[in-house]
Structure 1
Amino acid sequence: MPDATDADGLTVGQVATRLGVTVRALHHWDDIGLARPSLRTAGGYRLYTAGDLERLHRIVVYREIGLGLDRIQAILDDSTADVTGALRAQRAQIAQRIDRLQQLGAGLDRMIAAHERGLLLTVEQQAAIFGSEWNPDWPAQARQRYGDTTQWQQYAERSASRSSEEWQAIAGAVTDLDRALADAMDAGVTPGSPEANRLVERHREVFASYFPLSRQMQVCLARMYETDPAFAAHYDGIRVGLATWFRQSVDASARAHGIDPDTATWQ
């Protein structure tokens, strides 16, 4: 390689600044024979000519559209290479990536909306799925009350991927559970009995559609069913005393698993 003075070409640092690449990248491209400088100074430093810069510009463009260095070298050095075909193939790959990114963007939009709203259902869909007692303001109230909790985040992330049909199935499971609880109470099932314990486990399974429910959390939830006016009205509207019967059943099941209901916390 001919020697030259600094005036005959651009240094590695100057080229890196002009092209927006790193000096390390230029050194690597030189080492693999992709873009070797045509000149060197008497001290052995690389100098790039106008022709070198033209090649480097093409490398940068091809790299930005996603071509690998081996493919770039083949396009630049092989006179028989199908450049148009390679670019079309890369365009198809980019189109696929764009489509995937758009899908990811739509998924993020749903996730954000779910964190903000809880339910991604219209008011009409909510009424059709959850019944006439449902108040469409409840999700917003729940977010205001529980929005900073892990459970709200879990609930929102599950909600983001659910269809109205899936919500219908969950609502049906809740209705079936409520009916089974009422039937058990009517039949004189005693809290702590095997049948009552099975219903307590069924409640945890159904509730897991919203977020994982530990036994201690279930104790707190059952106590809220009994003391919160809205929840108590719902359960006592199914059967008078159902909220208390269920709370007693949950307490008995908790004791059987070594949990003191009187000291249980939301964890």
Structure 2
Amino acid sequence: KNILYYFNENLKRNGLTTTTLRTMQNYLYKLEKVLKVTTNYYQHMGVNCGTEIYYKLKYPKKECYQKINKYFKERKNSRFKSRVNNHFKDDVSINGSVNSVECLNNKNNKKEERKNNQKEKYQLRNYFNNCNFKTEEALSILNLNADKNTKVEAMNILKQNEIALIKRFSIKKSCIKEKQNTLKNILNNTQKEFEQNGYNSEQLKIYLQKVYEIYKFKPHFIIENHKYSDLNNIKRKLEKSIERKKENSQQNYQNLKANIFNILIERLKK
């Protein structure tokens, strides 16, 4: 029941219909007997009390996912090949039958065939529009020399791959955005550090902006400064190329002159 609860909660979050305890038991049975990724233990609770199922993964979770995905991929390919073979068998039987040839030559049958073809084209076009593909290249599926079911299957596979790519890109985009913000913070802190040491603020800003443009799509070279030396190299270049504020050294010079002058006056008084 605990597994069923968490499983149904996950389905609800994804906007899917919840399942029953019986269906969950069937899933666990298939994981052991068909997919062979678990070892199950069945404990009968008594008359009219049902059965408790305990399971243990035979492999690490990641490897289990790979085996399950491989099973369904092979099953899908097998079904696809079966449909293709049946399609070619039907073609052979039609071409080899005199009755079929005579039937195709019949005007009424040709009219019915054209009507069915138009209906299929409309259904396929409608299904294609509902898929809402992001690329125009997907239109080529409608022009395939294949039956309706094969085209629908091709659309489903393409849409699944498109959704997976969009999700992967969104995650990657979110991750790179977060790292870019971290990069900005590191460069801002570096600028403040150098400004406190008397380096020219405007030159620092311009130089570090160029550094950001260089590293914004590879920010890990700066962020992971314990692993890479890029940040230290940048700091060394800043020390060599950025000017220090002259007013500080000028002020120090004036103070030194005043001190020397005061010392001379004191000695002359003596």
- Fold-level similarity (TM above 0.5): no
Answer 1 or 2: which has greater helix percent: 2
- Pair member with larger Rg: 2
TM-score in terms of structure 2 length: 0.31
With structure 1 as the length reference, what TM-score do the two structures score? 0.32
